[in-house]
Amino acid sequence: TGLFTYDSGFLSTASCKSTITYIDGNKGELLYRGYPIEQLAEHCNFLEVAYLLKNGELPNAQQKDDFEVTIKRHTMLHDQMIKFYSGFRRDAHPMAVMVGVVGALSAFYHDALDLQDAEHRNVSFNRLVAKLPTIVANAYKYNAGQPFMYPRNDLGYTANFMYMMFGTPCEEYKPNPVLVHALDTIFTLHADHEQNASTSTVRLAGSSGANPFACISAGIACLWGPAHGGANEACLEMLEEIGDVSRVGEYINRAKDKNDSFKLMGFGHRVYKNFDPRAKLMRKVCYEVLTELGLENDRLFKLAMELERIALEDEYFVEKKLYPNVDFYSGIVQKALGIPTSMFTCIFALARTVGWMTQWEEMMTDPEYKIGRPRQLYVGAARRDVVPIDQRG
């Protein structure tokens, strides 16, 4: 009848029932399958967390080994996929490349895919989680004009990713364990975050029965925006623009000015009205990485710390409960790791693929699942008749 609840931005609409991730935004609490993110970051590596999200329980030692072997079996990209990269301009944004290449996986794994078959869905999960590091590293190599590195299955998931990113055929590359651990923690912290914009996109796309690889591509497209996953890139660009500690006040004032559209990137969150628990962990990782690399006096890091200090004391940010979010620190860590700014959101997409696929699977096996079809409040013209063109004003 046209009488629907209006909820712009879905501030109060639960779109699904889920058993995967729990967030208490007021307390600043994040649980994956009931486990606090702090404990998972301390005791588990990313693949264990991926297993947990997917299966609902942490793996035992045997299950962990088996899962690692299974994932490694899928790390190679189909050789024809490699040709996709050369269709892009060298300077294409790697997220644009990701949207295209991941979407193209649907052309390779479509006909044989029976979405009603649990094993088929399982293989799709494994393929995506295994291939994303290869796809991301290739996007980087393409941009850098370096040869693609084939995955090395004698390395762990994250160490192999760093090898494919930073290794070259000319010299041996040994990933630094402290830095591997830091990146692995970044993956864990980004693995899932309940019904955020990109996850909702994946669910909505998947609700029509679309190919899962195409659905993940849709999620990547959504993640790209600066209000979502693109914030870490935007945050680092903002720090570069501020340039010096002496200019922090000026930018804080701009963020507070109602007539200025500028927002402090890396601050605020739809759900967290307290410190983002991922940000606290990322802050710790940030110190560890900078210390390991002897970059404690890094200019941007000092600038970020000053920005954080002022914002946390400023009435505007306190009143609106705007705390630093995970992206505020993750960009600084990634930069220190040698990852170029334009790749930050790709790293996020790599990790979030686990969450997207887990959420997709939950939807596909939900007996109440229906195609997602929001309604609207129509506020356009009332019914009217078409006037012949020669009589239109």
User: At 29, is the secondary structure helix, strand, or coil?
Assistant: strand
- What is the size of the binding site for ligand CMC (CB under 6 A)? 20
Cβ atoms of residues 344 and 297 within 8 Å: no
Amino acid (one-letter) located at 88: F
Which amino acid is residue 93, in one-letter code? H
Q: Please say which residue, 104 or 252, places its beta carbon nearer to ligand CMC.
A: 252
Q: By CB under 6 A, is residue 196 in contact with ligand CMC?
A: yes
263, 273, 280, 284: which one binds ligand CMC (CB under 6 A): 263
Known catalytic residue at 120: no
The answer to whether residue 228 forms part of the interface with ligand CMC (CB under 6 A) is yes
By CB under 6 A, residue 267 contacts ligand CMC: yes
137 near ligand CMC, rule: CB under 6 A: no
Nearest Cα to Cα of residue 183 among 218, 143, 136: 136
Give the nearest distance from C-beta 305 to ligand CMC in angstroms. Answer: 17
266 sits near ligand CMC (criterion: CB under 6 A): yes
- Whether 114 is catalytic: no
Q: With 0-12 CB in 10 A as exposed, 13-18 as middle and 19+ as buried, what is 158?
A: buried
175 binds ligand CMC (CB under 6 A): no
Give the span between the Cα atoms of 119 and 117, in whole angstroms: 5
**Minimum distance, C-beta of residue 279 to ligand CMC, in the bound complex (Å):** 9
The catalytic position among 327, 366, 385, 390 is 327
d(CA 324, CA 327) in angstroms, rounded, equals 8
User: What contacts 240, CB < 8 A, 6 or more positions away?
Assistant: 300
Listed ranges 35-43, 112-120, 268-276, 339-347: which one lies at the site for ligand CMC (CB under 6 A): 268-276
Question: How many CB atoms are closer than 10 A to CB 320?
Answer: 13
Burial class (CB in 10 A: 0-12, 13-18, 19+), 80: exposed
| Touching ligand CMC, residues 305-334 (CB under 6 A) | 320, 322, 325-327
Shortest reach from residue 17's CB to ligand CMC, in Å: 21
Residues that bind ligand CMC (CB under 6 A): 193, 196, 227-229, 231, 255, 263-270, 320, 322, 325-327
